[in-house]
Structure 1
Amino acid sequence: MNIFTENQWRRLSLIIAVVWVLLGIVHHYSTQHPLLNSMQTVKPTPEVVSEKSALHDPEALESPMPNVQQMPSLEATESPTANAQQMPSLEATQKAFSEVNLAVSSQIAQQSQTISAPSTVFYRDKVAVITYHHIDSHESSVTITPERFDSHLQLLKKNGFHVISIEDFIDFLQQKKSVPPNAVVITFDDGYESFYKYAYPLLKKEGMTATMFLIVSYIEDGTVRQPPILTWSEIEDMHKEGFSFYSHTYNSHDSIFVSGKEISKLVTKTVNPTTHIPETDTEYKARIKNDFKKADDILNAKLGNSINLLCLPHGQYNQDVIDQAKQIGIPFIFTGIEGINSSNDKLIKRINGGSPYMSDKLFLAKLTAGSKK
């Protein structure tokens, strides 16, 4: 049974390594310095384990200590009958022990560097933003299993990625603070209750956080939908734990068909269903601006958000969308463009991790693409 934590294993292996080095150095000097030669070198019994065996065989740590009978007595080491001609000078003795101390210190430093060596740095001063939607036992185009999501989290940990909050990311974009190497932001779109049921506990277990971009009208209208949508109560519970929630529009997520093509309502004028008259430019701009503002007003009132962020439905936008967002104080827009972000970006790129084709190997390849740019 593993009775030690990872840090305890590391400290124990360091102590073992230092003891071996010290014993080796003392043995070396015992052949050159009479004072050290007068002491019997302590040889470890076969039961004393090496650093390597201690790390890989926990039970070896329970082996007995070296035989205490091999240790010289205090009287023997301090005997006044020792031949005075064999005693080295004080300066020589100090030099010998100084060299021993230096060697041990050097070994400790090398061991510490090995233990605390950072993982591979794939990119610096950049942030990868990962997108998910829905989690369920049955996968689909935008749905992955809890097991696949957890596998992604373990991959992030194993490969030295640092999950940061979206607020830290925004501070980086505003050049208020730096971010760690291999920085990652985890986001979810739409507002499915599966986030609360599956992602939230897995993220909490790993000490990670995430952001949900909500279709605010879906939370507000109380309509029963499939898959189920989050409630304000669930959102507030997660918000208290450091999870954040921003706009995926108020009610502009649905697509419409224009000339046989399905596109976002944000990027086209709609037609009045009664008069069959298309919107004017003024009406179109007012519609999307009011939608953005209504979503942010509700989120700010409910959660006290200090910044307005917009995630584009289906990743689609045009210049009018950007202009109207800026007019109501939305400085950053999250798109469907794939890539890694630097501090001068305003249209935020994201990597889609929420599809069943996203194997661990492909997921890592997309994340580490930031090192090649």
Structure 2
Amino acid sequence: MIEDTNPETAFLPGRFVVIPLKIANRGGITEKGYQTVPILCYHRFANSCDSPLCMPADVFDRQMKYLKENGYRVIGPEELLDFLDYRKAIPKNAVMITVDDGYRSVYNIAYPILKKYGFAATLFIYIDYVGVSSKAMTWDHLRELKQEGFYIGSHSVAHSDLSKKKETEDDKAYLARLKKEIFRSKEIIDHELDQDTLIFSYPFGRRNQTVISLSRQAGFKIAVTVDRGGNPFFADPFTIRRDQVLKRDMKRFVSRLKTFQSYPLK
């Protein structure tokens, strides 16, 4: 708030700095438009990649360097929820970094790069993958990352498609699976990390009204999709948009960082 209130020249010896005493403009609305929050979605990282879901370490480093050098501030789900609930303002150039699934490459590759630039990310893990092999993070990894400012959210128990019944399921079995995937995942993360997990990531971004309703009943406050676009304060907290970062050119990456939607109000 202090940075956004003052010009850069204020932070020099002998200059006055304005300290705002109350939160103004909690929704980021101006006569020219309104603030939106872009949310970036990654999956795994490697020095050399052979899949669009894998981000090369050097490309990820350039992307994070761009965010740092261009004044973007990374927020977590708590700040996003305050913004969506119209309780608190967030930085003008706020962006959220998320990583799905729980690959160990997040710990080995992405974490050092994020730390280098002073950023943290929101991680969505699915329970059945935690600690299953050397390619997956363990609960100890997740506890360490939480201590370093990362937020751990739920990505279900088994990462199954929640939006439709399996061929072998009747309505009762389908509902039982949904409750396990949603409620049980929150219970386990809450227990392992001693927290009240507030954010859920729909596997594959797929959901229906039953899934949305159960996510709310389970105690989640926000749920994210992989529908492209930004999020103003009046966005539906259970259909939050995210942009999957699948391409590696910087021009396309920068195009995902739109933090303001023009909408003249005069």
Which category of TM-score, normalised to the shorter sequence, fits these structures? Answer: 0.7 to 0.9
Which one of the candidate residues 99, 118, 133 is aligned to 2:43? 133
Instruction: Work out the CA distance in 2 between the residues paired with 1:142 and 1:209.
Output: 20
Instruction: Work out the CA distance in 1 between the residues paired with 2:33 and 2:59.
Output: 24
Which one of the candidate residues 330, 341, 344 is aligned to 2:231? 341
Q: CA deviation at 1:217?
A: 1.3
Instruction: Work out the CA distance in 2 between the residues paired with 1:207 and 1:124.
Output: 27
Give the TM-score normalised by structure 1.
0.59
Aligned in 2, Cα 1:305/1:173: closer, same or farther, shift over 3 Å? farther
Q: CA deviation at 1:162?
A: 1.2
Aligned in 2, Cα 1:237/1:307: closer, same or farther, shift over 3 Å? closer
Question: What residue identity is the alignment partner of 1:151?
Answer: R
- The answer to whether 1:224 aligns with 2:133 is yes
Match of 1:201 in 2: 112
Q: CA deviation at 1:322?
A: 0.9
Match of 2:257 in 1: 367
Please say if residues 310 and 332 of structure 1, whose CA atoms lie closer than 8 Å, have aligned partners that are also in contact: yes
- The answer to whether 1:246 aligns with 2:153 is yes
Aligned residue for 1:349, secondary structure, equals coil
Q: Which has the higher contact order (CA 8 A, sep 6+)?
A: 2
Q: CA deviation at 1:182?
A: 1.4
Please say if residues 230 and 258 of structure 2, whose CA atoms lie closer than 8 Å, have aligned partners that are also in contact: no
Q: CA deviation at 1:370?
A: 4.1
Aligned in 2, Cα 1:173/1:304: closer, same or farther, shift over 3 Å? farther
User: Which structure's residues are more often strand, by fraction?
Assistant: 2
Determine which structure has more spread, i.e. the larger CA radius of gyration.
1
Q: CA deviation at 1:360?
A: 1.2
Instruction: Work out the CA distance in 1 between the residues paired with 2:76 and 2:213.
Output: 26
Question: What residue identity is the alignment partner of 1:247?
Answer: S
Instruction: Work out the CA distance in 1 between the residues paired with 2:33 and 2:201.
Output: 24
Aligned in 2, Cα 1:163/1:123: closer, same or farther, shift over 3 Å? farther
What stretches of structure 1 of length at least 5 have no aligned partner?
A: 1-6, 16-107, 113-121, 255-263, 272-277
Q: How does 1:105-144 map to 2 (within 5 A)?
A: 125-139=35-49, 140-144=51-55
Deviation string, structure 1 residues 170-191 (Cα, Å, up to 9, x no partner): 2222222110101101100000
Aligned length in residues: 239
Please say if residues 335 and 350 of structure 1, whose CA atoms lie closer than 8 Å, have aligned partners that are also in contact: yes
Q: CA deviation at 1:165?
A: 2.0
Deviation string, structure 1 residues 273-319 (Cα, Å, up to 9, x no partner): xxxxx422232122101221111011101112224321011111111
Which one of the candidate residues 260, 278, 285 is aligned to 2:175? 285
Instruction: Work out the CA distance in 2 between the residues paired with 1:180 and 1:210.
Output: 16
What stretches of structure 2 of length at least 5 have no aligned partner?
A: 1-7, 18-31
Instruction: Work out the CA distance in 2 between the residues paired with 1:128 and 1:369.
Output: 6
Q: CA deviation at 1:372?
A: 4.1
Please say if residues 126 and 157 of structure 2, whose CA atoms lie closer than 8 Å, have aligned partners that are also in contact: yes
Match of 1:186 in 2: 97
Instruction: Work out the CA distance in 2 between the residues paired with 1:287 and 1:362.
Output: 38
